[in-house]
Structure 1
């Protein structure tokens, strides 16, 4: 879990990050970790596989959970770089702990999609960035009388294949032709055989058969993402009244609900960091009180969307390499509008403490708007105009 969800008073002292971290019994304790021991500089880029970045860095600072520094190459070419520490730091029972990127794709990959016989995903590399990667599965699995087994070319005798993410697994399911020339339902957990190695998808041949028993149903795994935000509110608020106010705001804010659906949809590092990062703009909107003094309800909704939307777009953009956003657009294109609207209704229910049966229209369009902004690396014009209008109201 991203460290900032359960930490407060986060600051940087040289190359040492300090914070008050929540323990399992709910206490806040002081914790510190020297980032220089774990994060390095590899030819002008942050690296999570070596240490001592401080020896060739200048202008080191912390902005929220993002570490900024000017890094030098071996030829002394210098450039500003940044890395979101939520990708590599966790709070383990009150102690800030460095965690290297994991190989399991459910933990280190986001926006995993399946097209034809190809698996695609954004994979966390040792540079702390998400890299687009693809792997052709036709040479990884074969068809043994209607069952998936490692090796071969199963997809020449397969049909109706689709990908389902549920319960920490990535299930590929469909029908395989059996020896009697019939079709048999089959599925395989790709997270068992496909791993992420430094930002690239690889197949690891395992013995045995991977078929899973029982039905697999589509799940956004929404509750963990919304729940992490709910659980983090009292820590930041310091009082229950403020936390309830924020929860009510979240339940009624389309951009908050859509962002959490986006996080649960993409999963992996994006899901974790979005869940942690979204608390910051929530605090900005609620604590400032500016939304309460805006009389026009339309302008109020636009202001909330602009503040939260811009923050989340910047957060995701910081995680991606230059060509990474295109895969996010592909992933959103795979979604059905009804699935998104239903998922948003579920998120509202988590914040309200009760199930919400009816989803509001427009959530899918808003989700696409956020992803398009990330892809174009450009804040939507209506967000900029809204922020300017509210700024004038504040000065009036």
Structure 2
């Protein structure tokens, strides 16, 4: 019997009671609607790169999305519209775009997972987010039981979130399965979008805002991600992870001023993300209170800096555990071999506790949890 450990990048998770692999959109629609009509919830899995599945697995139907296809459906004024099936590999889409000189997602090179999962998480890296290129998704809507085209403006896309995401295992605001996505890219004669991230600009040896041959940007992004263990590689145990396990917290500017002067921080737009939960030092009990709706100007902090400054170093693990902090990047929790979901979750709770106790910031996990207590 196939286990979720074999299908997820964290390499943990027990078996599913039933498994259906959908290689066409008709098979995907049929598999999902059949489970819905039975009154159950399917576990829809793409690349398995942003999920932590419990050791008992899933007592229901696992629907593996293996649909493929990239089609150009429009072009005008230097803009090209692509329609991509949900099961298509995200990095294959980026490679397809770069090979054709289409800019807008090159900084998202190397992100594992499927295209259908991209909008759910609003994937982003090195100064680009999918929300800047996403036009719409084709959604199999559970409430209505049919396919609808949902504009990106209605998806509530924010920092690593959308109305489609299951937060902490809870039901999403809008329940459905992404069948395809539409992305609009720029034909700029083989040049990239303006470089918008300092680390990427530094690695390329250019100023922010510079346009470069798009293939050069992709190559450099892949090198940066590989140096952090963020490109899947069977020979690198640090890549047995879910990527960044915690999101960078968003806090008020006044709270940010209370942190050490060397704490990295970046001002953000008002509608970029919900505020992180902040608690007074000395009052952390392990319980996560409701965030306040009142805030002043907001600032994004570095979760990696908070983790490191709370005393947790690369390679750290709890005694006897096979789950560890990556040896390359403190934001990644890795399976060093034979780890259980409970061990991964225990390490995540420990990291959250240490940062909460040290700085009063409650880090929020990025992966979706399935049958895991956190």
Instruction: Classify the TM-score, shorter chain.
Output: under 0.3
TM-score (norm 2): 0.22
TM-score (norm 1): 0.21
Q: Which has the higher contact order (CA 8 A, sep 6+)?
A: 2
Structure index of larger Rg: 1
